[in-house]
């Protein structure tokens, strides 16, 4: 069982920045990818950004150029730097850890709330 813990959410004004962190209780060697997803009230959970063990990244079109995902391999930690935040970015942000191998497993964190408002 892999424990996934997010942190760094909060209230920020439009145009502001936040950095989210996600730490997994597993070695980087067991990781296939880690990713950030978000879910706003009344909406389905959507992909924000992912990063593989090798460092390849993907982003949702809505956040390209504003958000950056990165990893710290020694701590199996992933960060999401969010700049130029908009009210539409308001959501619960969730981290998912996907293990490598033929029997891949997915583990979710409890989420951290990001609110962008005046």
d(Cα 16, Cα 35) in Å, to the nearest integer? 22
DSSP string covering 56-96: -EEE-TTTTTTEEEEEEGGGTEEEEEE-S--GGG-EEEEEE
Residues 38-83 have pLDDT tens digits of 999 999 999 999 999 999 999 999 999 999 999 998 888 999 999 9
Residue 28 confidence (pLDDT) above 80: no
Residues 4-23 have pLDDT tens digits of 999 999 999 999 999 999 99
* Residue 114: CB atoms within 10 Å: 22
pLDDT band for 27, please (50, 70, 90 cuts).
confident
* Residue 96: CB atoms within 10 Å: 20
Three-state DSSP at 29 gives helix
Q: What's the CA angle centered on 86, arms 84 and 87, to 5 degrees?
A: 160
Three-state DSSP at 10 gives strand
């Amino acid at each position: 069982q892999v424990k996934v813990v997010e942190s760094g959410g909060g209230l920020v004004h439009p145009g502001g920045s936040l950095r989210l962190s996600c730490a997994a209780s597993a070695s980087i060697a067991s990781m296939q990818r880690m990713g950030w997803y978000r879910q706003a009230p009344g909406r389905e959970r959507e992909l924000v950004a992912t990063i593989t063990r090798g460092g390849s990244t993907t982003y949702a079109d809505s956040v390209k150029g504003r958000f950056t995902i990165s990893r710290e391999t020694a701590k199996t930690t992933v960060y999401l730097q969010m700049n130029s935040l908009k009210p539409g970015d308001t959501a619960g942000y969730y981290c998912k850890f996907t293990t490598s191998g033929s029997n891949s497993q997915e583990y979710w964190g409890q989420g951290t709330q990001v609110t962008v408002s005046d």
